[in-house]
Amino acid sequence: MISTSICYVKIEKSKRKMILWLLSKRMKKFILVFLICFLFGFCSFFESRTSYYPSGVFFPLYRDGEIVYKGEIIDLVEKMDGQVYLSTRKGLVYCLDGLKRKINWTFEASVPLLSPPFLGLENIYVYDESYTLYCLDKEGTLIWKKNVKDRVVSGIAEFKKRIYLGTEEGSFFSLNASNGEEIWRFQAGGAIRSTPVFAGSKIIFGCDDFILYVLTEKGNLIDKFKAEDKIQSTPLVEKKYLYFGADDHYFYCVNLNNVKKKWKVKTGGKIFTPPVTDGKRILFLSWNNVLYCLNRRNGDILWWQIIPSRSFYHLEISGERIVVSSLSSLLVCFDIKTGEKVGDYDTGLEVKSNPLWLDPCLLISLYDEEKDEGRLVFLKKILKITLKSNKKSPQDVGKEIVFTVSAIGFYEEKYEFYLKEGENKEIIQEKSEKNSWVWFPEKEGNYIVGVEVVDEKESKTAEIPFVIK
């Protein structure tokens, strides 16, 4: 009996040892797999960081072309799928091919227009001086038109096959996008100048009666928020918060769940333009010529910059930069994170629209009053390299000659130097970060010293003829 018990204990110990051994092996394997995954993940992260190529606009810029159209643009240039849309005070709506740089089609209204084009999913909307609303398809064909009777003063927004707009008399309309028929209207206490925005099923707009209205899709009032002055700017919906400015010089953040103020910030002027966001920061213009950048969560002012003149044009985020146009000839660009000015461009004429980024160009609209012509100008980054030598040609055999290159428009560029003699071309310094090469010519001859500058996307060469005697 005792021997049997002893035997049983030994077997149990053996089992435990075996289990512990197996667990140990599995644990080691798990740790090994984890370490391998971690190392691969770390390498991937490192590679993605080192291979990062900045996107968006880069300064300095040069004029790379233009499209000429009739009349003066009405404030706003819009884009969709490579197509650019604008309207003029002469009553013309234009669709321009931004890549081929040509006019696709033109629509002419019977009365001069008051609004820029507003883009829906399938249609384009504008209104004229008689407050007739036009609906065009993407080919420029008129689908329907409707006289609203009231004076339309807001932007037009499309949502779930309906369009929404406001009037000077305080009427807010919901219309069927397919035929323009009125579905319902809501009466506010003042003129509605802001373009409506949407959060889930909520419809939101600001009003001259100091109130921000929140309606259902059926036009019923859910809630409202009161500021201290007119709300003319178009609000920005970002997740569960709403951001907007008012004529009381305050910029607000409102929680959409309860329509209560989260924070507000005092600025130096009225706020007419819609704010924009890069996901972390909120940026907007104030009528005192200042561009503000706020922390999205708490409203702290991260930085501010003075711009050349007052502006009611939309801001344009391009990569990690923000471009601003104003009632002047100067475009200015700032780094979103730091607020540092990274470039400007003088157009020579007063800018008449928002800047618009259409890779690889920045678009801006100008107006020639004498010719009554608008110009959609394409601005492109300057890609330039300059190769210089510290001694002029000709030089004697054995003399030291230093060639240095400077580059504009590249990112983390590399330099490759080569030497040509007749038909022969020899790489004399392979691609590296070194932007100079020292030459001790060993024999007489007619040479060409060249360099190719490359980065991940761009390349350009420069050459200098050189005689050794």
- Residue 282 host element (H or E): strand 281-286
Looking at residues 59-69, what average pLDDT do you find? 96
Cis ω for the linkage preceding 112 (within 30 of 0): no
| pLDDT above 70 coverage of the chain, percent | 89
Output the six-digit token pair for 20. 């512990």
Q: Within 13 Å, how many C-alpha atoms sit on residue 91's CB side?
A: 11
pLDDT given for residue 42 in this prediction: 47
Rounded Cα–Cα distance for residues 387 and 413 (Å): 15
Looking at residues 300-315, what average pLDDT do you find? 97
Contact 113, 89 (CB under 8 A): yes
pTM: 0.84
pLDDT given for residue 126 in this prediction: 97
> Does the pLDDT of residue 416 top 80, yes or no?
yes
The tens digit of pLDDT for each residue in 71-113 reads: 999 999 999 988 999 999 999 999 999 989 999 999 999 999 9
**Banded model confidence at residue 251, pLDDT cuts 50, 70, 90:** very high
**Banded model confidence at residue 52, pLDDT cuts 50, 70, 90:** confident
Pure H helices in 74-220: none
pLDDT given for residue 169 in this prediction: 97
Looking at residues 12-19, what average pLDDT do you find? 55
> Does the pLDDT of residue 26 top 70, yes or no?
no
Mean pLDDT of the chain: 91
